[in-house]
Amino acid sequence: MSTDRKRRYSSPVVDGVAKSASRAMLRAVGFTDEDFKKPQVGIASTWSMVTPCNMHINTLAEDAGKGVDVAGGKSVIFNTITISDGIANGTEGMKYSLVSREVIADSIETVAGCEGFDGIVAIGGCDKNMPGCVMGIARLNRPSVFVYGGTILPGANHTDIVSVFEAVGAHAKGDMSLIEVRQIEETAIPGPGSCGGMYTANTMASAIEALGMSLPNSSAQNAVSDTKRIDCHAAGQAVMHLIDQGITPRDIMTREAFENAITVVIALGGSTNAVLHLLAMADVVDVELTLDDFTRIGERVPVLADLRPSGKYMMSELVAIGGIQPLMKMLLDKGLLHGGCLTVTGRTLAENLADVKPYPSGQDIIKSFDNPIKKNSHLRILYGNLAPTGAVAKITGKEGTRFTGKARCFESEEEAQERILDGTVSAGDVVVIRYEGPKGGPGMREMLSPTSAIMGRGLGNDVALITDGRFSGGSHGFVVGHVTPEAAEGGPIALVEDGDEITIDADTNEMSLKVSAEELARRQANWTPREPRYKRGVLAKFAKTVSSASLGAVTDKL
């Protein structure tokens, strides 16, 4: 085994007589004399039995490790956490969801930084795993590859987790019996893998691939498949090549690469969470990215994918026709992607896409540029006297592009959910859920339960919802999140009163409260900050350090 391969970080840990104690410890976990001469690659595994999204990742981590080892490195598997949005949604526990992104990033940085790994392969499944993994490896800036754990297969009758949430609303309306709800509950989640639509997990996996940090088509593979295991093995080999070439995340995660990621997210009709996470990921590598970049790119990029939640198909059906690589080739050929961006293959994006074949004729999942789902972006960045520093909406046009209604205000998600299910919320209402932002929640909970209840009650076209919290990728309807400044900081959303008229306009990208400046000033003068809901622990620490959602809600810029 050659000893001239780059061991920039592991060498100080294991070389020389002074490091005998380090080697003694490592011998106990399986190192041999030859292993001490090899680059060490940490395999960050988010395996857990907490959620089906991650329950198979232990075997994928082993496959990645084998890829490292066969390429001449020494793999070391370690774990980081995951939580489950799908399980926690609608509960106090959901406040830990966005927090987990930061914990994952912190833990990967901590372990890899401490142990002296020369490279990293990070494998994520559920929503926050992916940006958390990328943020962790990007902070260290060591040769790294991200691997997506893969999508789940559809449940019986083409159902998924959102089908279950919406069944609850349908039952409240009287359109579905308890037995029917139970049948969906029992069959919608058939096994391992992340939620099956173009929700946050599949959105972020696609964005990271477009960013260049995953191998081609890593984002579009079924969780339980030979292709996913091959992808993991190849990732282990790829990181060894990156180590040899000295290619690091900052070489890949450039301004142009983030523009590619935004473009692909829009074309796929992806989750609003992509805005939050891409801002955070860009911040880690000091790339200047703002909310307005999403608007600028969105003016020229259409929505082409007919995928859930607003569309018809699931990710597994996109996998079956070739994944996202043919879509990226379409976008490149149209001049909508930067082909010169470097990727973890060591080649450029254009080189990776050169031999990609088009989608099969007759497929109906990815539309043509002549017949898009929407001619411009569904991700709308809104400003106005209700969101001076921005808000994020996901509006496909199916629900219309303009909504005016009367505010019905709630101080928590639970309170809003109760009033939606009991029929208090009615057509013409703009549901306002506040004090759920990054600081105020704390943790910026997703509003999948109330948005699903609105859809289940048949009010999707008649009720809007705005919040300083955020939305699941499974949310759809006339919804606006990430309202900033948030209520806990005294933002205008804290000053709204029941009956105030609110207009949301996705054509002009405005969200306005029909209340005079003088009246808002009066209300502001009478507003008093709330006491923090948590005084100790990770939620308190998050609330104390987190930045605005308009800046990515990061916690490591002190």
Q: Which residues are tagged catalytic?
A: 472
Q: How far apart are CA 186 and CA 197, in angstroms?
A: 18
- Strands of the sheet with 119-124, listed across from one edge: 74-79, 40-45, 119-124, 144-148
**Bridge partners of 75?**
41
DSSP 96-125: HHHHHHHHHHHHHHHHHHHHT-SEEEEEE-
Find, among 128, 197, 126, the residue nearest to 160 by Cα. Answer: 197
Q: How far apart are CA 177 and CA 171, in angstroms?
A: 6
CB atoms within 10 A of CB 296: 14
Residue 217, both tokens: 């088509």
Question: What is each CA distance from 28 to 21, 112, 507, in whole angstroms?
Answer: 11, 19, 63
CA 111, chain centre distance (Å): 23
3-class DSSP assignment, residue 500: coil
Q: How far apart are CA 318 and CA 267, in angstroms?
A: 13
Strands 501-505 and 402-410: antiparallel
3-state class percentages of the chain: helix first, strand second, coil last, to nearest 5: 40, 15, 45
- How many Å is the Cα radius of gyration of the chain? 23
Question: What is each CA distance from 60 to 227, 230, 234, in whole angstroms?
Answer: 11, 9, 11
Residue 490, both tokens: 């005294």
Identity at 74, one-letter amino acid code: K
